A and B are shown apart, each in its own frame.
Chain A
Amino acid sequence: MLLRTKLHGKTYEFPDLRLLMGKANEEKSGDRLAGVAADTTAERAAAKFVLAEVPLWALRQNPAAPYESDEITRVIQDAVNETIYNEIKDWTVGQFREWLLADTTSGEMIRRLSSGLTAEIIAAVAKLMSNLDLIYGASKIRVSTHCNNTIGLPGTLSSRNQPNHPTDSPEGIRASIYEGLSYGSGDSVIGINPVDDSYSSVARLLEMTYDIIKTWAIPTQNCVLSHVTTQMKCLQNGVPVGLVFQSLAGSQKGNESFGISVGMIDEANALAKKYCFPSGPNFMYFETGQGSELSADAHHGWDQLVMEARCYGFAKRYSPYQVNTVVGFIGPEYLYDARQIQRAGLEDHFMGKLTGIPMGCDACYTNHARADQNAIENLAVMLTAAGCNYFMGLPLGDDSMLSYQATSYHDAPALRQLFKLRPAPEFEKWMEDLGLMKNGVLTGIAGDPTFFLRR
């Protein structure tokens, strides 16, 4: 394999696709940690020139982890529609980029093409995109799903109500849920990250949230984001589960470090279809984020964008209700500052949509990264323009249990009002019936958690 170019009089040569792909990435501290980042900005530009000429078949034939030894590679490769793949396999990455952006290419056409792609192809084209390309390209692709309600429809923006508490106190969690509902957060899910991963504690939170959903007849679903095995036990014991959650990694080894496998998620998905209380047909909820493979030394020497794209190929197998990257969650070793977090957020959302999954984003940062709330508000505006399905809703954007900051209960209504978007239709009607929203705008009684104290 010869991968070489001259640029401004200098010759740049790349030994293999793995390094070419790494060096073609926009700057990320995690790629530097993995030893695959470009040494100079010029080398990055040279890598992009070469990558633009790589045919798609070469990317399919060189997956990040071998087919024989990695079940995620098998999941992705075996799901490829060969007819569609054959139509495009000789395109170069540069041509593919232009096709995606062309005015003659519709969202429908892209959705069809998705089934002929592998994660490495998807990551490659993302590397050639500027930020506005990522926004514009993604905005063409809508992926809508249904559980108890419908999210991802054009003209809508949803919000996960994330009412975490440092001791899982039901009263504390309830206070946050009420606050969030009163702002219109919760049409994606009422989803709690538990501190205590035990069956009894997780079951208690599921019962509590189910009770709120029933009491107020809310067209939404609940979820407790414990390890999937705990939720499976809940399903088998008749505990009311709306969505079944798991964090995913992009390689078999990465998933092993999460204590999961394809077989386990297959089983969880089957249990979900059998026992979840909403109407479905989409019952799974996944989170991902650049860097988790490297963190578990499970990246096979590849860059974090490729590993992230592989998570989406894995997720697609289950027709999930929603998937989001938790971009910026782990810390500065993978995404150093606001600029890197924003770039990664746009990349992940674009790659998810190109994969054909219902992509949202936890636009967030930790206190050890060089970022602040303004940076995350910027990212949320960009992603709303890109047609992102949903964001997180946190009380004032602060998660006092997970110790990070993300978008807030206030951000969803602000973005909706700014971009003339609505909540999920069933949820909007519910809000209108309660008098919390009118014509897409919060009413005078909205934003008050005590509204939900009685009934």
Chain B
Amino acid sequence: MDDAQLNAIIDAVVKEMIAAQAVAPARPAEPVAASSPAPAPQPAAPATPPGGLAIDLPDPALPEHRYQPRVQRAKNPDALPALIAATTARVGVGRAGPRYRTASLLLFQADHAITQDALYRDVDPKMLDDLGLFTVQTNIKSGTSPSGGKQEYLLRPDLGRQISDDGKKTILEKCVPSPNIQLVVGDGLSAAAVEANVREMFPVILNGAKSAGLTVGTPFFIKYCRVGVLNDIGHLLKPDVVILLIGERPGLGRAESLSAYMAYRPKPGDTDADRDVVCNIFNNGGTNPLEGAAFTIQLAQKMIKHQASGVRLKLATK
């Protein structure tokens, strides 16, 4: 399979996905009448106990409520749903004086509440097993706050950039040295992002590399991982290119966004200026994982061709 074929396959899959969405739109197509105030979530016709108060709300986070146009006297109300559907940003929300409408304010707070959960969860070990990944850890200690675990991970990025001595040993034992591409997965700031994308990306990266005539090393998983581990990986395994798939920090109500940080022959002392990133990889609104995976192979080829990454690659291709 060559580059063009690979792209053709991805194209086909992407088109299919888009078509599927068009048939069953996730967002409401029904515009709200111009003059009526945007309806608040309606209680499902409660059987009110005589004289009593009964509030029984449907879930305001469901798409049909979430993407409700809330502008009260829109000039072109029919056009609002399309504007809202064009972006993951929260537009078409209307106002109460210069402040938010009640429903948007409360939904924001609700989304903030669920976002925090993504941070403190570990990647599902079953997925790592399925992909045949062994696990190593950085110098962040296992355990719970404040002396180890996620809390230490959040406060000590320096330790998250160093692979532990045990981990280094394991890597040297288990990995093929000096491949063209070393593929690595790291939890980063979101386990959900790893779980949501890596399964789909793996085959595309592996097949893509193969068809580009590039060897791929033994992939593995790094727990409590920061982008800076690229240097240690380069030092240990001497690959041409490292591709690190790592969870980005979670956004409001959405924790599935993944990045691929990459570097050409990384070594101790390298900085972000020596690296590149393909970011915002997620389904439904971001760069979808298949495309994201294809980009990483294209970028790896470019790095190998120009023997550079980061700002130097930029200058080389100017």
Contacts and interface: CB of A to CB of B under 8 A. Distances in A.
Interface stretch (A48-56, A127-135, A171-179, A210-218): A171-179
A62 interface: no
Contact of B87 (A165, A257, A297): A165
Contact of B271 (A227, A256, A400): A256
Interface stretch (A148-156, A267-275, A410-418): A410-418
A227 B271 CA distance: 15
B119 interface: yes
Contacts of A332: 154-155
Among B94, B257, B285: residue with most chain A CB under 10 A: B285
B189 to A, nearest CB: 6
A109 interface: no
B94 A447 contact: yes
Interface string B254-296: 1001000000000000011100000110100111000000000
A95 interface: no
Contact of A175 (B86, B115, B252, B254): B86
B121 to A, nearest CB: 13
A167 B104 contact: no
B89 A229 contact: no
Nearest to A374: B109
B86 A174 contact: yes
Interface string B84-102: 1011111111110111100
A147 interface: no
Chain B interface residue bracket vs A: 35 or more
Interface stretch (A74-82, A315-323, A354-362, A365-373): A365-373
B273 A259 contact: yes
Interface stretch (B212-220, B234-242, B310-318): B310-318
B115 to A, nearest CB: 5
A444 interface: yes
Given A171-B86, A410-B100, A405 B314 contact: no
A387 to B, nearest CB: 20
A403 B155 contact: no
Contact of A173 (B84, B87, B252, B273): B87
A408 B105 CA distance: 12
Nearest to B118: A367
Given A166-B286, A333-B154, A368 B86 contact: no
Given A175-B89, A296-B272, A417-B98, A400 B251 contact: yes
A447 B71 contact: yes
A445 B75 contact: yes
B280 A166 contact: yes
Interface stretch (A19-27, A238-246, A391-399): A391-399
Contacts of A204: none
A447 B94 CA distance: 6
A257 B272 contact: yes
Interface string B62-95: 0000000001011111011001101111111111
A33 B251 contact: no
Contact of A165 (B76, B79, B89): B89
Contact of B89 (A176, A257, A336, A366): A176
B153 to A, nearest CB: 9
Contact of A167 (B97, B287, B314): B287
B87 A367 contact: no
B279 A195 contact: yes
Interface of B: prevailing SS: loop
Contacts of A397: 108
Contact of A396 (B75, B93, B279): B93
Among B73, B79, B100, B257: residue with most chain A CB under 10 A: B100
Nearest to A405: B252
Contacts of B186: none
Contacts of A257: 271-273
A401 interface: yes
A395 B89 contact: yes
Contacts of A259: 272-273, 310-311, 314
Nearest to B318: A233
A164 B89 contact: yes
A163 B86 CA distance: 12
Contacts of A179: 83, 91-93
Given A396-B108, A448-B74, A450-B76, A403 B249 contact: yes
Contacts of B200: none
A373 B109 contact: yes
B250 interface: yes
Contacts of B287: 166-167, 195
A367 B250 contact: yes
B147 interface: no
Contacts of A449: 71, 80, 83, 91-92
A176 B92 CA distance: 9
Contacts of B148: none
Contacts of A92: none
A331 interface: yes
Contacts of B77: 450
A445 B157 contact: no
Contacts of A169: 86-87
Given A396-B100, A449-B91, A450-B77, A33 B155 contact: yes
A442 B249 CA distance: 35
Given A400-B252, A403-B250, A175 B91 contact: yes
Nearest to B269: A297
B271 A172 contact: no
A451 interface: yes
B15 interface: no
B90 to A, nearest CB: 4
A209 to B, nearest CB: 15
Contacts of B2: none
A321 to B, nearest CB: 25
Interface in B7-21: none
Among A259, A405, A442: residue with most chain B CB under 10 A: A259
A29 interface: yes
A-B pairs, top 10 by smallest CB distance, nearest first, are A172-B87, A259-B311, A403-B251, A257-B271, A396-B90, A450-B76, A413-B98, A259-B273, A414-B98, A400-B88
11 contacts: A29-B155, A32-B155, A256-B273, A259-B314, A367-B116, A367-B251, A395-B87, A402-B251, A417-B97, A447-B94, A448-B71
Interface of B: 71, 73-77, 79-80, 83-84, 86-95, 97-100, 104, 108-109, 112, 115-116, 118-119, 154-158, 189, 248-252, 254, 257, 271-273, 279-280, 282, 285-287, 310-311, 314-315, 318
